[in-house]
């Protein structure tokens, strides 16, 4: 008798991050980092965990959508779903009634991200491999069959994807060995939240430089004069060799990995992020005014759905040597397809659970590789760093074959709630997840769930003065 998925559990978990100013930017001013968390169970003992990220209110709506999508998997044989994760993805997203409240966008799509990721976690655990290893060990044919391909074949056909993957196949093992040894390049955002004082920004920046990082991001968009001042504080630290870790001379700003990034004398790179606050002409003028702090790119200058707007911003900023990045709010692969086709971005910032899970992420990794645009995933929040290291490893080892121009976002918040937290080495790079039991690294500690479950977890009860 084949095994069956028998049931699911869903938890609405919210962390009170609004109390500390963590995660504040020009658009998101009071975030309670939250996880809409799902576990799938099969009668042969297999379990898969997944989540999507929100910033508080509304998390319960996502949980409800996740329950509806999880019901579609009840009674299914996990092995038959694993045999073509692309087909499983199509099936999950194609409920004839739920589709109406998307399709493939908004609550129902980020809910699909959690459920698809839980299925991938179950798949990886069933093979005793971390998720990235499961995927890079696939043949090119298996990987293409695991990918969501509908609606993108005008930009990338399955045959092209297969040829790209085959061209990288023989050298996968060498890349895997290399990245296991050196880690995957990372950057920090935690120093530059808008809610932090100048002193806190300076202290956190010094700490990040000392920890080996050389790419830094700050939030902008509330006030140009203040952004310029904060940017100058950060640049004055990251460009000054005295703050480098002992024995380090920094990096050569003319090295190929740093070309076009406006690296300073120690090889440090600054990026800026506006979280969608501007109209297109305003974005262009505002970012021009920040030219003195020499950013590599402006992230999310305008509405995330405005593909041609991003293309206009990119064109206008090109003479200033400032690029455009976006993607954390790009809600499906078709938006990425058009951003690439319209030459609207220099950097592609996928999100691990706004896209509907690993199968849809694979389609974007493949398209970005074809268009020659580096993928630098969005992370931070809660759980996102745990997820994205897997995706960047897949990109490097099996898909694009490059990583030294890429940087993966790292924010040092809330990792303690996970059984297999991500970690950073002494050179400011992500370590490679290597526990065969960790799947997609997203399993949360049971006591964290019990403490922060909304609204009746022990933290929230005590925050309300002890009454339910
Ligand atoms: Mg951002």
Ligand 1 centre and the CA of 351: distance in Å? 10
- pLDDT tens digit sequence for 263-288: 999 999 999 999 999 999 999 999 99
**Whole-angstrom distance, CA of residue 64 vs CA of residue 38:** 11
Ligand 1 centre and the CA of 275: distance in Å? 6
Ligand 1 centre and the CA of 25: distance in Å? 9
Ligand 1 centre and the CA of 8: distance in Å? 32
pLDDT of residue 23: 66
Ligand 1 centre and the CA of 380: distance in Å? 9
Ligand 1 centre and the CA of 300: distance in Å? 7
pLDDT, mean over the chain: 96
Q: Which pTM value belongs to this model?
A: 0.97
pLDDT at 466 over 80: no
pLDDT at 444 over 80: yes
* Helix, coil or strand: residue 202: helix
pLDDT of residue 92: 95
Q: How far is residue 143 from each of residues 28, 151, 363, 437, measured CA to CA in Å?
A: 36, 18, 10, 21
- Locus of tokens 């996880």: 35
Phi, psi of 406 (to 5 degrees): -85, 155
Ligand 1 centre and the CA of 104: distance in Å? 21
**Whole-angstrom distance, CA of residue 468 vs CA of residue 12:** 16
**Would residue 114 count as lying in a domain?**
no
- 11 noted as active-site residue: no
Ligand 1 centre and the CA of 450: distance in Å? 30
Domain that holds residue 305: 172-430
Is the sign of the CA dihedral 388, 394, 397, 400 positive or negative?
Answer: negative
Which has the higher per-residue pLDDT, 142 or 19?
142
**Whole-angstrom distance, CA of residue 11 vs CA of residue 35:** 8
**Whole-angstrom distance, CA of residue 18 vs CA of residue 357:** 27
Ligand 1 centre and the CA of 252: distance in Å? 27
Ligand 1 centre and the CA of 397: distance in Å? 25
pLDDT at 24 over 80: no
pLDDT at 190 over 90: no
List Cβ neighbours of 107 (8 Å cut-off, separation of 6 or more).
58, 61, 62, 65, 101
Phi, psi of 434 (to 5 degrees): -135, 10
**Would residue 112 count as lying in a domain?**
no
pLDDT of residue 25: 72
Give the Cβ contact number of residue 195 at 10 Å. Answer: 17
Task: Give, as residue ranges, everything with CB less than 5 Å from ion ligand 1.
Answer: 273, 299
- Total domains, the chain: 1
**Whole-angstrom distance, CA of residue 15 vs CA of residue 34:** 6
pLDDT at 6 over 90: yes
**Would residue 386 count as lying in a domain?**
yes
Can you state the angle between helices 358-371 and 333-341, rounded to 10 degrees? Answer: 10
Ligand 1 centre and the CA of 299: distance in Å? 6
Q: In the beta sheet, which residues pair with residue 271?
A: 217
> Catalytic one among 49, 337, 378, 417?
378
Ligand 1 centre and the CA of 396: distance in Å? 22
**Would residue 241 count as lying in a domain?**
yes
CB 353 within 8 A of CB 62: no
- 109 noted as active-site residue: no
Ligand 1 centre and the CA of 364: distance in Å? 18
Is the sign of the CA dihedral 258, 259, 263, 266 positive or negative?
Answer: positive
18-27, 184-193, 304-313, 315-324: which has the minimum mean pLDDT?
Answer: 18-27
CB 95 within 8 A of CB 72: yes
**Whole-angstrom distance, CA of residue 248 vs CA of residue 424:** 17
> Catalytic one among 219, 310, 331, 413?
219
**Would residue 143 count as lying in a domain?**
no
* Helix, coil or strand: residue 188: strand
**Would residue 138 count as lying in a domain?**
no
Ligand 1 centre and the CA of 411: distance in Å? 11
CATH of the domain at 299: 3.20.20.120
Between the CA atoms of 123, 126, 127 and 133, what dihedral angle is there, to the nearest 10 degrees? 40
Phi, psi of 322 (to 5 degrees): -110, 130
**What is the Rg, in whole angstroms, of the alpha carbon atoms belonging to the chain?**
21
**Would residue 335 count as lying in a domain?**
yes
**Would residue 49 count as lying in a domain?**
no
| The pair of three-digit structure tokens given for residue 206, joined into one six-digit string | 């010094």
* Helix, coil or strand: residue 77: coil
pLDDT of residue 21: 65
- pLDDT tens digit sequence for 80-115: 999 999 999 999 999 999 999 999 999 999 999 999
Ligand 1 centre and the CA of 395: distance in Å? 20
**Whole-angstrom distance, CA of residue 63 vs CA of residue 16:** 18
pLDDT band at 467 (very low <50, low <70, confident <90, very high): low
Ligand 1 centre and the CA of 19: distance in Å? 20
């Amino acid at each position: 008798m084949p095994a069956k998925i028998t049931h699911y559990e869903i938890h609405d978990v919210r962390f009170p991050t609004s109390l500390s100013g963590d995660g504040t930017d020009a658009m998101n001013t009071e975030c309670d980092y939250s996880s809409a968390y799902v576990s799938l169970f099969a009668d042969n003992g297999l379990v898969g965990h997944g989540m999507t990220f929100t910033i508080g209110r509304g998390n319960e709506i996502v949980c409800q959508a996740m329950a509806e999508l999880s019901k579609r998997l009840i009674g299914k044989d996990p092995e038959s779903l694993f045999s073509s994760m692309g087909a499983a993805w199509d099936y999950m997203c194609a409920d004839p009634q739920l589709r109406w409240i998307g399709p493939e966008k908004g609550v129902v799509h980020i809910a699909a991200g959690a459920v698809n990721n839980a299925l991938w976690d179950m798949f990886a655990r069933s093979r005793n491999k971390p998720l990235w290893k499961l995927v890079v060990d696939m043949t090119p044919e298996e990987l293409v069959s695991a990918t969501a391909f509908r609606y993108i074949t005008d930009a990338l056909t399955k045959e092209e994807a297969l040829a790209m993957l085959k061209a990288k196949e023989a050298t996968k093992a060498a890349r895997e060995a290399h990245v296991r040894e050196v880690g995957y390049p990372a950057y920090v955002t935690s120093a530059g939240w808008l809610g932090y004082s100048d002193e806190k920004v300076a202290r956190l920046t010094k700490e990040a430089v000392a920890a080996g990082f050389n790419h830094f991001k700050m939030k902008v968009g509330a006030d140009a004069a203040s952004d310029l001042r904060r940017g100058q504080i950060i640049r004055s630290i990251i460009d000054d060799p005295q703050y480098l870790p002992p024995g380090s001379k920094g990096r050569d700003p003319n090295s190929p990995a740093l070309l076009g990034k406006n690296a300073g004398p120690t090889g440090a790179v600054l990026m800026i992020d506006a979280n969608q606050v501007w109209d297109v002409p305003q974005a262009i003028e505002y970012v021009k005014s920040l030219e003195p702090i020499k950013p590599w790119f402006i992230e999310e200058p305008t509405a995330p759905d405005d593909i041609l707007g991003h293309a206009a911003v990119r064109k206008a900023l090109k003479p200033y040597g400032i690029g455009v990045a976006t993607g954390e709010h790009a809600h499906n692969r078709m938006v990425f397809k058009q951003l690439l086709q319209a030459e609207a971005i220099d950097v592609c910032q996928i999100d691990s659970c706004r896209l509907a899970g690993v199968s849809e992420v694979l389609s974007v990794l493949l398209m970005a590789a074809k268009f020659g645009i580096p993928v630098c995933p969005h992370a931070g929040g809660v759980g996102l760093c745990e997820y994205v290291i897997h995706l960047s490893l897949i990109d490097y080892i099996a898909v694009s074959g490059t990583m030294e121009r890429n940087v993966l976002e790292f924010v040092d918040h809330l990792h303690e709630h996970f059984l297999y937290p991500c970690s950073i080495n002494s050179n400011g790079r992500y370590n490679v997840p290597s526990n065969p039991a960790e799947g997609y690294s997203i399993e949360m500690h049971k006591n964290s769930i019990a403490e922060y479950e909304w609204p009746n977890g022990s933290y929230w009860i005590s925050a309300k003065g002890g009454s339910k």
